[in-house]
A and B are shown apart, each in its own frame.
Chain A
Amino acid sequence: MKLLFIVLLAFLPSLIIAQQQNGKAGTNNAGLTLPSGFNAIIVADNIGKARHLAVTPQGDILVKLARLKDGKGIIRLRDTNGDGIMDSQTGFGNYGGTGIAIKNGYLYASSDQEVFRYKLNDKNEVIDPESPEKIITGLINRRQHESKSVTLDNEGNIYVNVGAYSNSCQVQDRRQGSPGRDGCPILDSAGGIWQFKASKLNQSYGDGARYATGLRNVVGLDWNQQDNALFVMQHGRDQLNMFPSLYDSKKSADLPAECMYMLKKGDNAGWPYIYYDPFLKKKILSPEYGGDGKKEGSSKYIDPAAAYPAHLAPNALLFYTGNLFPGKYKNGAFIAFHGSWNRAPEPQAGFFVVFQPFKDGKPYGDWEVFADGFSGSKEATETGRAQRRPCGLAQGPDGSLYVSDDNRGTIYKIAFSAR
């Protein structure tokens, strides 16, 4: 009996490798469904709760883990023999978190309350992994919506999401019948995007600026180079079914939209007072603040740039600037939807990567599913028991698209081969 087990174990690695090579040959695309001409392989697996990731011009992949694995919170993956598979893995950083980005010779990475940066050498390798500079500290982390995603502009600023530690700013969070708090005090220190200097040490709230507010929780964000503007994806509110006379379970599953916003300094997207109804195409007053499902909220809140189905949890946003993919993808947006839970008892949805076409720096035309199949099956999607959940997106130096999964710890590479 034991012997058989050992034999089986001995074969496992070759099975995994065989699967990866299958992907490479374009036969099963590592289990993903892609538009024709695209192919996918798994370049690394089981690396931990892989949140966001960044790729250096040399092709090293740096992945931020939500929780430490073997004491490390950042994993560096490298392909040492040029076969496309990341065969070398090292780690550093003694903190879990989500955000990671490379800009102007530095690697930026966040815990759930701080942001660090590491100087890179001329090969874009971290020079001193053990002593990063702490550039931002003291950000609020009250468990819920804790991740601090980051992106940078071209003027030396870094943008950090501070999610609201609440669903809809009720007196008692998520409790049926608890009213919304007037002048929601959470917004003073959370529920928005904060702007800091990318190169100044030990900044906290007083040193930065609240760039935009009224955003419940943003995990995916990116700087749009065409517009020279910040775009974010908001996780819309949950549990409209706390008001069963206004929202039955179907309505609660389909409302509100997950919204993409283009943000200018000072913008207010309206959380917790309003939500966006994609069917009425209106900003609707939240039921905790006197809404009835139809009354519109104040027009001082900005409109979304685009709207997506409810509760799909957009965890990454990436503007594609590469030349590998066909022309229509250039400057458009990829969005990784982590997948829903608050649609229950309706079937869950998401667990895919979407492409949103852009024209002249604005969303243009309908979004489409770009990469699907992460969950493993239709049943796994509908029950929410997904095998993998797309969470991070990054563009490789050759224009390929990398996708991270924070359930199994899988990294995919999606490429295009012209026919």
Chain B
Amino acid sequence: MKVFLFLILFVFSSLALYSQVRKPKAPAKASAGASSSLLKLSAGRGKVVYAVNCLPCHQADGGGVPNLNPPLIQTPYVTGDKTRLITIILKGLDKDIEINGDTYSNPMPPHDFLKDQEIADVLTYIRNAFGNKAGAVTAPEVKKLRK
């Protein structure tokens, strides 16, 4: 047993070392500036919209609920096409679709009662929370899709 524990320790510490050595240096971003601080402001407001309107189902960590409500972590719906994402918020979603390999049985109700800016903010927030990284959503983009 002791030998075994030692082996585990050894494997993990060498793995840790290995990954440290391999970690690529983050490329210095030049363009940051104004647009990134706008994104931060919008995401900050979006966090509040999220807490009231989305958190009950998708949970505080964005991890969802197994079999019932999908996660918002690294899903193609969250970080992908903005038109599709905005449409989910405006119209809701109730279909047997696979989200990262699993299906979820609850319906997502339409959230068209939120204002354009609130939807833009909450989507900018989820696209940049829970380990996601994707561009901001703006109010005019939401307005365009609202009928």
The chain A residues found within 8 Å of chain B, CB to CB, are 1, 4-5, 7-8, 11, 15, 49, 66, 143-146, 172-178, 238-239, 241, 341-342, 344-345, 383-385, 389, 407
The smallest C-beta distance from B10 to any residue of chain A, in angstroms, reads 7
B7 touches A7 (CB 8 A): yes
Secondary structure dominating the interface of A: loop
Given A146-B105, A344-B56, A344-B60, A172 contacting B8 (CB threshold 8 A): no
A341 touches B65 (CB 8 A): yes
Q: Is B16 interfacial (CB 8 A cutoff)? A: no
Q: Is B68 interfacial (CB 8 A cutoff)? A: yes
Question: With A and B bound together, what is the CA distance between A341 and B61 in angstroms?
Answer: 12
A383 touches B14 (CB 8 A): no
The smallest C-beta distance from A235 to any residue of chain B, in angstroms, reads 11
Question: With A and B bound together, what is the CA distance between A66 and B103 in angstroms?
Answer: 11
Q: Which residues of chain A are within 8 angstroms of B92 by Cβ–Cβ distance?
A: 175
Q: A1-B14, A8-B11, A383-B61 are in contact. List 20 more A-B contacts (CB 8 A).
A: A4-B7, A4-B11, A4-B14, A7-B7, A7-B11, A8-B7, A49-B67, A144-B106, A144-B107, A146-B105, A172-B110, A173-B109, A175-B92, A176-B113, A177-B113, A341-B57, A341-B65, A341-B68, A341-B69, A345-B51
- Nearest chain B residue, comparing its CB with the CB of A172: B109
Q: Which residues of chain B are within 8 angstroms of A1 by Cβ–Cβ distance?
A: 14, 18
Q: Which residues of chain A are within 8 angstroms of B66 by Cβ–Cβ distance?
A: 389, 407
B:59-107 near A, CB below 8 Å = 59-61, 63, 65-69, 92, 94, 96, 105-107
Given A8-B7, A344-B56, A345-B60, A143 contacting B96 (CB threshold 8 A): yes
B59 touches A8 (CB 8 A): no
A175 touches B56 (CB 8 A): no
The smallest C-beta distance from B114 to any residue of chain A, in angstroms, reads 10
Given A11-B4, A175-B110, A176-B113, A383 contacting B68 (CB threshold 8 A): no
Secondary structure dominating the interface of B: loop
Q: Which residues of chain B are within 8 angstroms of A342 by Cβ–Cβ distance?
A: 56
In the assembled complex, 22 residue pairs joining A and B whose CB atoms fall closer than 8 Å, in A order, are A1-B14, A4-B10, A4-B11, A4-B14, A5-B11, A7-B7, A15-B4, A49-B67, A66-B67, A143-B94, A143-B96, A144-B107, A172-B109, A173-B107, A176-B109, A238-B56, A239-B56, A241-B56, A342-B56, A345-B55, A383-B60, A389-B66
Q: Which residues of chain A are within 8 angstroms of B106 by Cβ–Cβ distance?
A: 143-144, 174
Total chain B interface residues with beta-carbon distance under 8 A:
29
Question: With A and B bound together, what is the CA distance between A143 and B10 in angstroms?
Answer: 47
- Nearest chain A residue, comparing its CB with the CB of B110: A175
Q: Which residues of chain A are within 8 angstroms of B14 by Cβ–Cβ distance?
A: 1, 4
B69 touches A143 (CB 8 A): no
- Nearest chain A residue, comparing its CB with the CB of B108: A174
The smallest C-beta distance from A15 to any residue of chain B, in angstroms, reads 8
Q: Which residues of chain B are within 8 angstroms of A8 by Cβ–Cβ distance?
A: 7-8, 11
Question: With A and B bound together, what is the CA distance between A198 and B38 in angstroms?
Answer: 64
B:9-65 near A, CB below 8 Å = 10-11, 14, 18, 51, 55-57, 59-61, 63, 65
B96 touches A384 (CB 8 A): no
A-B complex: 6 closest residue pairs judged by Cβ atoms: A175-B109, A341-B65, A174-B109, A143-B105, A4-B11, A144-B105
